[in-house]
Structure 1
Amino acid sequence: MVKTGQLRRSLVKVQEDDFDVSQCLQELREGIPQIGAVAAFVGTVRDLNEGSSIHTMTLEHYPGMTEKSLENIVAVANGRFEILSAMIIHRVGPLKPEDQIVLAACTSPHRQQAFLACEFIMDYLKTEAPFWKKEQTPDGGRWVSARDSDDSAKARWES
């Protein structure tokens, strides 16, 4: 039986290049035959936000600090859920609608813990990781503000 704190593989990457979800999940699972479930979330760039069409979105971050923040989020998830491996890949730089932004994935012997850990990671990533988004719209550039719904999603894990 897997217990919390039994993470066998943790992969965190911040990169400009796109990622292949299938290849990433294979890397996450490789050599861990106890895995019975993989839960993954892929976030993409929308073409519309707050009533305006989005031409491009640029993501900025603090190199080193961002990776450390993501590694900490995985470590906290490892302490709360029975997961065997976890991965976060987050893109930075200019992106256009339909581009992939983020992959969060977790594995476990059973689906519930994988689903919960993946959702936890995304909720914390949206509020704790030092990323900044700037959208280019027909009216010019604008920085994307934090959403109250992201704070509410994170808060439910703190009770």
Structure 2
Amino acid sequence: MKLLRITPVTKKIVGEEFNNWLKSFLHTEVNTYVIIPDIAKRDYYDVLKFLKDGRGHISNRQNRLLADQCIYGYYLEIFFHHHCEERNKGNTNQTFKEIIEETFNITDTYGRVLRWVGRLWHEYKNIEKLSISIHRLYSHRTQIENLFKLYPELANDWKEPVTPTLNNIEDSLNNVNL
């Protein structure tokens, strides 16, 4: 008689529980920021080369800082859209996969992970303060995306705090009842 193998059902953590789990990896201080030279900020290809070769922070290894990978992924996403426009115009025959593998020495899969974290970081800046590997973060991408879509009040904690400007200060002073 064969015994049926029963696989235990894992509970999907959503909402506040998942937000608290994610915050358990949060560190208030980020050790490094990538400083991109002003000259190269518009040429995304040069920015990516600078980040990959000059800094050496982008690697498939898990011990790299998430902040650096977020910034690299953001510029990789911009470069991807720029490349798609160039390809649609007929200016290039190379695929995006060929470019990142040959030029930047990044696998297509890792490139997708970097682009995802770059898009996420663009909207939720505090993601860079997580002390978690990019691969572990990506493995929870569905839960992260659901958290930010379904619980906007919790998602606000992950956005960059608004820096006070003169207009914000004047508006808040006008709303005060004396």
Query: Aligning the two structures, in what range does the TM-score lie when normalised by the shorter sequence?
Result: under 0.3
- Which protein, 1 or 2, shows the higher relative CO under an 8 Å CA cutoff with sep ≥ 6? 1
Structure having the higher helix fraction is: 2
Of structures 1 and 2, the larger Rg is shown by 2
Give the alignment's TM-score, normalised by structure 2. 0.24
TM-score (norm 1): 0.26
**Greater strand percent: which structure?**
1
